[in-house]
Amino acid sequence: MLFKSKNKGKHWDFVSTVAVDKKVGTEGFGEPVIARVSKGPKAGRLICQMRTGYELYSNHSDDGGKTWTKAKPLVYADLDVYKTNNWAAMFKDVKRKGVLVAPDSPELIGAVVDPDLIETRSGILIAAFGVRISAKLCWTIPTYPWNGNYLAFSLDHGDTRSQVTRLTTGIDTTHYMCVEETPKNNELFVVYDFGHWNGKEGRYTYGRKVKISV
């Protein structure tokens, strides 16, 4: 849902329901992030991206958030979490709840988690997200190359993603991320973690600067 405050957060008013669908994913719509487009033909558009437990969903509003398009799956760079045949063999000896994971098990489905979305001062739309291969088994065997943290860049206000960059690959992570632009134009500060909740090696937060060259 979308709420708006006119007094710097002291009070909030309900604006609209951004998305609802009881059949979506395993978690419904969660971990949403909203960015406002400020430049170009779509100036003023609000774009929302949401986690579902499986794939990432996205929708937008062109009337200040009063109404929203129907949320639809958004797949970056063909990172389709349902392509389980690509990694099924990797988990053939892994047990989930005491049972070997079958090649057609839904346990093999991946997940896109914790999206973040910003527009830089120059108008580049940047999405950050994590990909889990698979949604739960990634902490048993984390080495599949898709498993990691990503940035996606759009030069046309979200219509297309001309560049998707994998920041980490095949490592132990919870895949949670955050991205902001530094005081320098087209320089980002990106934060993500290493390790996971039950990992014996510990859990650490990393921050790094990323410079954009167009």
What tens digit of pLDDT does each residue of 63-76 get? 999 999 999 999 99
What tens digit of pLDDT does each residue of 15-63 get? 999 999 989 989 999 999 999 999 999 999 999 999 999 999 999 999 9
What tens digit of pLDDT does each residue of 137-193 get? 999 999 999 999 999 999 999 999 989 999 999 999 999 999 999 999 999 999 999
- Counting Cα atoms < 13 Å in the Cβ hemisphere of 164 gives 15
3-state secondary structure of 53: coil
pLDDT at 197: 73
What tens digit of pLDDT does each residue of 102-129 get? 999 999 999 999 999 999 999 999 999 9
Q: Is a pLDDT exceeding 70 seen at residue 199?
A: no
**Per the omega criterion (within 30 degrees of 0), is the bond before 16 cis?**
no
What DSSP string describes 135-191? TTGGGT---STT-EEEEEEESSTTS--SEEEES--SS-----EEEEE-SSTTEEEEE
Q: Is a pLDDT exceeding 80 seen at residue 198?
A: no
How far is it, in rounded angstroms, from Cα 59 to Cα 122?
A: 23
pLDDT at 195: 86
% pLDDT > 90, the chain: 87
How far is it, in rounded angstroms, from Cα 166 to Cα 150?
A: 5
What tens digit of pLDDT does each residue of 71-97 get? 999 999 999 999 999 999 999 999 888
User: What are the CA-CA distances from residue 104 to residues 5, 87, 108, 137, 156 (Å)?
Assistant: 47, 11, 8, 14, 38
